[in-house]
Amino acid sequence: NAGVTQTPKFQVLKTGQSMTLQCAQDMNHNSMYWYRQDPGMGLRLIYYSASEGTTDKGEVPNGYNVSRLNKREFSLRLESAAPSQTSVYFCASREGGYYGYTFGSGTRLTVV
């Protein structure tokens, strides 16, 4: 099925470990986004990529890095995980113009 695919779905990390969250979309969308969802805080933008080859910081970029590998793929890296990064992470893509987001199913990350 066409859409946004995120891997892994679940992950437990120890403090200080690193990992990369993967995201791929097959809708030929130009823009891709990473959000984190925390209870009572809604979705907060971490980083986004308006087009292939560009990335920009969102509201909460500290502790994260991103790579827009190609038009399809946009990865999020935690270099040294901290308990404050325990969250559900969503990747989204958008065609542009007046269109909204298409979301992936999320990655539930726990840092202990």
In three-state secondary structure terms, 34 is strand
Of 48 and 74, CB closest to other proteins: 48
Which residue, 65, 93, 112, is CA-closest to 2? 93
- Count H helices and E strands in the chain, helices first: 0, 11
Any contact of residue 89 with other proteins (CB under 8 A)?
Answer: no
In terms of CB distance, is 56 or 79 closer to other proteins?
Answer: 56
Contact between 21 and other proteins by CB under 8 A: the answer reads no
DSSP labels, 57-98:
E-S--TTEEEEE-SSSBEEEEESS--GGG-EEEEEEEE-STT
Query: Per rule CB under 8 A, is residue 109 in the interface with other proteins?
Result: no
Stretch that binds other proteins, among 16-24, 33-41, 62-70, 78-86 (CB under 8 A): 33-41
Confirm or reject binding of residue 41 to other proteins (CB under 8 A). Answer: yes
Is the peptide bond preceding residue 39 cis, with omega within 30 degrees of 0? no
Interacting residue with other proteins among 4, 21, 60, 66 (CB under 8 A): 4
Residues that bind other proteins (CB under 8 A): 4, 31, 33, 35, 40-45, 48, 50, 58, 90, 92, 98, 100-106
